[in-house]
Chain A
Amino acid sequence: QQQVKQSPQSLIVQKGGISIINCAYENTAFDYFPWYQQFPGKGPALLIAIRPDVSEKKEGRFTISFNKSAKQFSLHIMDSQPGDSATYFCAARTSGSARQLTFGSGTQLTVLP
């Protein structure tokens, strides 16, 4: 019940295109959904996060869309740039005292110049 399923495993996008990464979950106790970005040789870094009381959050070129009824959320990267090439992880956190992050398996994004 703690699993977060992420797709696709890898994604290749042309510069200027839109990158879309999807995640789905089962546990309705999740109440916080962050996305992390990881460059080679670096640890993951928080990119953007959303709570289930809103359906969309936008920060610059990055947008999270959240569908509570479908238990799905996605990351959209507009005007994708080669510098966006990285591995992206979705995650979800439960409410209550044991607020552990459960991560998806990651998407390796390559943006071609």
Chain B
Amino acid sequence: ETGVTQTPRHLVMGMTNKKSLKCEQHLGHNAMYWYKQSAKKPLELMFVYNFKEQTENNSVPSRFSPECPNSSHLFLHLHTLQPEDSALYLCASSQDPTRDTEAFFGQGTRLTVV
């Protein structure tokens, strides 16, 4: 285990549903990230939070809404998704995004939009 826990591991949702992905890190890190992993494509960075403040939003559609209530927890709220949003969503954390510290990834949430 890397110390980064994601729930749920699998999620199937309709296009009109609202759901949330949860990430928790037990490593004392200050930065947390959401990535999208689609088959045969590079991991896409979605959001970066540093000390609970959002520092990056890589042109992610508004149907994805992140929330970081504290340095240990990160949520991704989902609403009115599209089938092309089906992917593995990975959470990661690192000590400090401004330094060369290793990023630790969770196991991901496999999301299927039907």
A residues touching B (Cβ–Cβ < 8 Å)? 4, 6, 9, 32, 34, 36, 41-46, 89, 93, 97-106
B107: which of A43, A46, A101 is its contact (CB, 8 Å)? A43
Residues of A within 8 A of B56 (CB): 98, 100
CB A4 to nearest CB in B, in angstroms, measures: 7
| A87–B26 alpha-carbon span in the complex (Å) | 26
- B100 adjacent to A106 (CB under 8 Å): no
CB A59 to nearest CB in B, in angstroms, measures: 14
- B42 adjacent to A41 (CB under 8 Å): no
Residues of B within 8 A of A9 (CB): 40
B42: which of A43, A98, A106 is its contact (CB, 8 Å)? A106
CB A99 to nearest CB in B, in angstroms, measures: 6
Partner-binding segment picked from B59-67, B79-87, B91-99:
B91-99
Residues of B within 8 A of A32 (CB): 100
Q: What would 10 A/B residue contacts be, using CB atoms closer than 8 Å? A: A41-B107, A45-B2, A46-B102, A46-B103, A89-B43, A98-B56, A99-B100, A100-B97, A101-B43, A103-B42
Residues of B within 8 A of A101 (CB): 43, 45, 103
B34 proximal to A (CB < 8 A): no
| A99–B45 alpha-carbon span in the complex (Å) | 12
- B107 adjacent to A42 (CB under 8 Å): yes
CB A62 to nearest CB in B, in angstroms, measures: 16
- B42 adjacent to A4 (CB under 8 Å): yes
Residues of B within 8 A of A100 (CB): 45, 48, 56, 97
Q: Closest chain B residue to A97 by CB distance?
A: B98
Residues of B within 8 A of A34 (CB): 102
B40: which of A43, A93, A99, A105 is its contact (CB, 8 Å)? A105
- B107 adjacent to A44 (CB under 8 Å): no
- Known A-B contacts A98-B56, A100-B56, A102-B42; the reply to A43 vs B100 at CB < 8 A is no
CB B72 to nearest CB in A, in angstroms, measures: 17
